[in-house]
Amino acid sequence: MKSTRESRREGRWFYFFISPWLIGFIVFALFPVLASLYYSFTEYDIIHAPEFIGFGNYNELFHDEQFWNSVKVTLKYTFISVPLTLFLSLVFAMLINQKIPFRGIFRTAMYFPSMISGVSMALLWFWVFNPQAGLFNYGLSLFGIDPIHWFLDEKYAMWALIIMSFWGLGGGMLIFLAGLQGVPAHLLEAAKLDGAGRLRTFWNVTFPLISPVFLFQLIIGLIESFQVFTQAYTITQGGPNYSTWFYVYNIYINAFKNFRYGYASAMSWILLIAVTVITFVIMKLSNRYVYYEGGRER
């Protein structure tokens, strides 16, 4: 066994080697989070000293129409985009999991678009949805449909952003593919010998075995959908008529346009609490529906 002196020396070296990460975490993560919690109880515009106002910001939030509009816009995007993204990712994963020629090329082609993100992706889709020269409207014109001003019409702006979200299907598809390849072949063969069709085999054998993967994808998808910002900022600027005024975009406007950092901090903490509660509820409910080989998760 190691002596107490050796253990202490190893402990000191351990903290020495992790000190760069520890200092970075405290300075760039922990301190800003705690500072934002304090600022959420203050009136702060970065020029004047913070003025403590208690729950004033939170009280104002719940009476702010723009706050509720941003919540509604974000939830609408979440309830449409996340299920469709999960479904399409799983469908494509099942397709490229088949024994077909050039599988590797198809997998690479499906995953490659998800490597392009942020502003570059938003600008690319801005041209795709261009009402005069965009590929999307050109495709619609082949069916006799008049050009649509996607980002200038409040009826279509949100749908354009939802369609844009499918650009990142490759990442989810790859994770589902890994889950599908982990399904034991002998279980699929047994189901086939018992006369089960493809749909029944998928529902009773495949899906339960990949349900932990589906749960992971669901939680990550929900968290990402609550943080949509780049598309709204780069393309729509929250419009038209506030139809794409997402929650995080609302935080940005209050912080860096209106210089209400205390108010924006309160909004950020509401978002953090909401994401934490939703994740906790999903994890609790998942114990009834998610299959784990080692037994139920506690």
Whole-number average pLDDT of the chain: 89
Angle at 47 between CA 42 and CA 51, to 5 degrees: 20
Angle at 73 between CA 71 and CA 79, to 5 degrees: 95
pLDDT at 295 over 80: no
- Tell me the average pLDDT across 92-108: 84
Alpha-carbon 50 to chain mean position? 33
Give the C-alpha separation, 147 to 145, whole Å.
7
User: Among 1-10, 168-177, 268-277, which is the least confidently predicted range?
Assistant: 1-10
Q: How confident is the model at residue 168 (pLDDT cuts 50, 70, 90)?
A: confident
Q: Is 29 inside any structural domain?
A: no
Q: What is the pLDDT of residues 110-127, one digit of tens each?
A: 888 888 777 888 888 888
- pLDDT above 90: percentage of residues in the chain: 53
Q: What is the pLDDT of residues 60-92, one digit of tens each?
A: 999 999 999 999 999 999 999 999 999 999 999
- Tell me the average pLDDT across 282-290: 88
Q: Is 25 inside any structural domain?
A: no
When divided into structural domains, the chain yields a total of: 1
Give strand ranges (E) for 2-82.
Answer: 42-43, 51-52
The pLDDT assigned to 3 comes to: 66
User: Model pTM greater than 0.85?
Assistant: yes
pLDDT at 298 over 70: no
The pLDDT assigned to 156 comes to: 92
Highest mean pLDDT among 7-11, 111-115, 214-218: 214-218
Q: Is 195 inside any structural domain?
A: yes
CATH of the domain at 232: 1.10.3720.10
- Tell me the average pLDDT across 160-179: 90
Give the range of the structural domain holding residue 82, as residue numbers without chain letter.
Answer: 59-289
Residue whose tokens read 């919540």: 71
The pLDDT assigned to 229 comes to: 92
Q: Is 203 inside any structural domain?
A: yes
CA distances from 64 to 18, 68, 178, 242, 260 (A): 44, 7, 45, 14, 14
Would you call 196 helix, strand, or coil by DSSP?
A: coil
The pLDDT assigned to 214 comes to: 94
Give one word for 238, left, alpha or beta, with left for phi > 0 and alpha for psi -120 to 50: left
Closest CA to 146 of 132, 158, 160: 132
Q: Is 4 inside any structural domain?
A: no
Q: Is 221 inside any structural domain?
A: yes
- Tell me the average pLDDT across 8-25: 90
The pLDDT assigned to 257 comes to: 93
Q: How confident is the model at residue 163 (pLDDT cuts 50, 70, 90)?
A: very high
Q: Is 131 inside any structural domain?
A: yes
Closest CA to 274 of 211, 215, 214, 225: 225
Q: Is 9 inside any structural domain?
A: no
CA distances from 162 to 168, 225, 228 (A): 11, 10, 11
